[in-house]
Amino acid sequence: MGKLPENFMWGGAVAANQLEGAWNIDGKGISTADCMSAGSVHRQREYTDGVLDGRYYPNHEGIDFYHHYKEDIALLAEMGLKCFRTSIAWTRIFPEGDELEPNEKGLQFYDALFDECLKYGIEPVVTISHYETPYALVKKYGSWKNRKLIDFYVHYCEVLFHRFRNKVKYWMTFNEINCIVLNPTIPAGIRIGEGENFNQIVFQAAHHELVASAKAVKLGHAINPEFKIGMMMIYPLTYTETCNPEDALLQMKMMDLHLMFSDVQVRGYYTRKAKKQLKEKQVILHIEPDDEKILHEGTVDFLGFSYYMSNVASAKGQKPMTEGNMLQSIRNPYLEISDWGWQIDPVGLRLSLNQLYDRYQIPLFIAENGLGAQDHIESDGSIHDPYRINYLKDHIVQMIKAVEEDGVELLGYTPWSCLDLISASTGEMKKRYGFIYVDRDNEGKGTLQRSKKDSFYWYKQVIATHGEKL
Ligand code: BGP
């Protein structure tokens, strides 16, 4: 089969709420991410009722990318990145989410950021909504539970598409859209009250997001036909524990739940099977007359996905191994695990690429992949992170096999994360993913100085040799 395409997008990924900081600067409103407490290795973050004064939330300051972006983009350019996947903080553009007029200062920040990327020939890849919703939309409307969010989101997209039409070509509508079924709070700002029907609320909210995404795709193409607008899902590759058909059935059902999202976004409709599944879960979706047409007309140009680990389905109903992990899995004896209990499975990336490509036959994009670990700075300032290099190397090998040997069509690879930043699941700083170390700890102490890890030099070489030298 062919090699990696010449214009393959080697890059790196981050998200606004996890690195920008400046949470209340230049007119930015409060987002759901601003209301999350930090968790811990074994505890998910908690969603507080508004911003509590006097308590330190690491993501309020992040790594202060808002004020360091020039220095940071220069480092990414030095590494040779061809693209930079970041997100736009919705609350910088619409502080409350439901205004008609955008906040000019917020738009200016992203103008400057994208200009800085383009100056070095780095293509911005922009996620429109990455785990942060304007908090006012939660308070006033109940977030994505409410259909009104569709219009607010589409208006937000319209402003972005017009403003950045000549700067951004690649867009992703929602980060890990299917995560809403695993944890509706972090991705979508939804809290399920006691006695409320989890499935009914979550799938209705998901439907609103799917319609919003489809409308955005159609609108984006009308504004600039050159736009490539993709979806982004977590790909929860799941194996069966044994060859017991009951395990296989469970595995299929676990995957189906997630593939419902990509089916709608790529194929443009809920399959018969998806409708059956919803019925089985006693979900009655409220679908407006035009929705099916909208979904059909707003199919995506490419499928982006995150892949960190694989999972195992066991019909015996064993207790899942990881408490801090959104995905439910038992331990796979063939795989190593990270310090956070994520099962490291490079071959699984090749399988994921094949499964997705077999199913959809549209270009894929690996939007996230990486290893969260604690790094240690030596007295001379160097940071040796062979564990990260090994993780990424092993995954890149499998990625290349998927393209070169299996014929998968792949646009790009943006490992998570270019720079150290706040972890999404724990809200902490100590779980690091970056090629670039940032001097910042869980308590918010540190100089914010950036230092290159060994992985920085290694990835630079990978990009320079187009994956030849790993
Ligand atoms: C994905 C999210 C990212 C990111 C990553 C790593 O699910 O899209 O925002 O943070 O996971 O997860 P964590 O930070 O919890 O280790």
* DSSP string covering 308-337: S--EEE-TT-PPPS-SS-SS-----TTSEE
On the question of pLDDT at 57 being above 90, the answer is: no
What is the percentage of the chain residues whose pLDDT exceeds 90? 83
- Atom 10 in ligand 1: which residue has the minimum CA distance? 424
Q: What is the pLDDT of residues 438-461, one digit of tens each?
A: 999 988 889 999 999 999 999 999
- Atom 5 in ligand 1: which residue has the minimum CA distance? 424
Given the CA of residue 179, which atom of ligand 1 is nearest to it? Answer: 7
Q: What is the pLDDT of residue 45?
A: 64
Whole-number Å distance, alpha carbon 200 to ligand 1 midpoint, is: 26
Given the CA of residue 175, which atom of ligand 1 is nearest to it? Answer: 8
Mean pLDDT of the region 123-136: 96
Mean pLDDT of the region 254-275: 97
User: Which range among 46-55, 85-94, 128-137, 387-396 shows the weakest confidence by mean pLDDT?
Assistant: 46-55
Q: At what angle do helices 454-464 and 386-404 cross, to 10 degrees?
A: 20
Is the previous residue joined to 417 through a cis bond, with omega within 30 degrees of 0?
yes
Calculate the CA 294 to chain-centre distance.
24
Length of the chain: 470
Whole-number Å distance, alpha carbon 243 to ligand 1 midpoint, is: 32
Given the CA of residue 423, which atom of ligand 1 is nearest to it? Answer: 14
Given the CA of residue 234, which atom of ligand 1 is nearest to it? Answer: 7
- On whether the CB atoms of residues 343 and 390 are closer than 8 A, the answer is no
Residue 176 bears catalytic tag: yes
Give the three-class secondary structure for 446: coil
Q: What is the pLDDT of residue 455?
A: 98
Whole-number Å distance, alpha carbon 19 to ligand 1 midpoint, is: 12
Q: What is the pLDDT of residue 186?
A: 83
Residue 469: partners with Cβ closer than 8 Å, 6 or more residues away: 461, 462
- On whether the CB atoms of residues 239 and 179 are closer than 8 A, the answer is no
The candidate with the shortest Cα–Cα distance to 425, out of 14, 15, 42, 21, is 42
Better-predicted residue by pLDDT, 52 or 318: 318
Q: What is the pLDDT of residue 36?
A: 81
Given the CA of residue 15, which atom of ligand 1 is nearest to it? Answer: 9
Q: What is the pLDDT of residues 63-90, one digit of tens each?
A: 999 999 999 999 999 999 999 999 999 9
Q: Cα–Cα–Cα angle for 425, 427, 429, nearest 5°?
A: 115
The candidate with the shortest Cα–Cα distance to 449, out of 420, 470, 423, is 420
On the question of pLDDT at 235 being above 60, the answer is: yes
Task: Please tell me the distance from the alpha carbon of residue 263 to that of residue 80, in angstroms, as a whole number.
Answer: 35
On the question of pLDDT at 321 being above 80, the answer is: no
Active-site hit among 123, 176, 209, 428 = 176
Give the three-class secondary structure for 453: coil
Q: Strands 170-174 and 83-87, how do they pair?
A: unpaired
Ligand 1 pocket test target in 337, 425, 426, 429 with most atoms within 8 Å of CB: 425
Cα→Cα distances 282→49, 203, 278, 279, Å? 30, 11, 6, 5
On the question of pLDDT at 135 being above 50, the answer is: yes
The candidate with the shortest Cα–Cα distance to 440, out of 451, 424, 425, 429, is 429
Cα→Cα distances 436→259, 363, 366, 418, Å? 34, 29, 20, 7
Domains of the chain: 9-464 (3.20.20.80)
pLDDT band per the 50, 70, 90 thresholds, residue 324: very low
Mean pLDDT of the region 108-118: 98
Six-digit token string for 424: 């999404």
On the question of pLDDT at 54 being above 70, the answer is: no
Q: What is the pLDDT of residue 194?
A: 86
Q: What is the pLDDT of residues 137-146, one digit of tens each?
A: 999 999 999 9
Give the three-class secondary structure for 44: coil
Given the CA of residue 431, which atom of ligand 1 is nearest to it? Answer: 16
- On whether the CB atoms of residues 21 and 66 are closer than 8 A, the answer is yes
| Residue ranges lining ligand 1, Cβ < 6 Å | 15, 18, 131, 175-176, 234, 306, 368, 372, 416, 423-426, 431
Whole-number Å distance, alpha carbon 246 to ligand 1 midpoint, is: 31
* Highest-confidence segment of 58-72, 187-201, 296-310, 416-430: 296-310
On the question of pLDDT at 42 being above 70, the answer is: no
Active-site hit among 61, 116, 241, 368 = 368
Mean pLDDT of the chain: 93
- Atom 14 in ligand 1: which residue has the minimum CA distance? 423
Residue 378 bears catalytic tag: no
Cα→Cα distances 134→35, 53, 126, 146, Å? 10, 18, 18, 14
pTM: 0.96
Mean pLDDT of the region 348-377: 98
Whole-number Å distance, alpha carbon 451 to ligand 1 midpoint, is: 22
- Atom 2 in ligand 1: which residue has the minimum CA distance? 424
- Looking at residue 396, its amino acid is I
ipTM over 0.95? The verdict is yes
User: Which range among 151-155, 211-215, 246-250 shows the weakest confidence by mean pLDDT?
Assistant: 246-250
Whole-number Å distance, alpha carbon 131 to ligand 1 midpoint, is: 10
- Atom 16 in ligand 1: which residue has the minimum CA distance? 423
On the question of pLDDT at 25 being above 80, the answer is: yes
Q: What is the pLDDT of residue 426?
A: 84
Task: Please tell me the distance from the alpha carbon of residue 281 to that of residue 14, in angstroms, as a whole number.
Answer: 35
CA torsion 52-34-426-281 (nearest 10°) is 110
Q: Alpha helices, DSSP H only, in 175-314?
A: 185-188, 198-223, 245-262, 272-280, 291-297
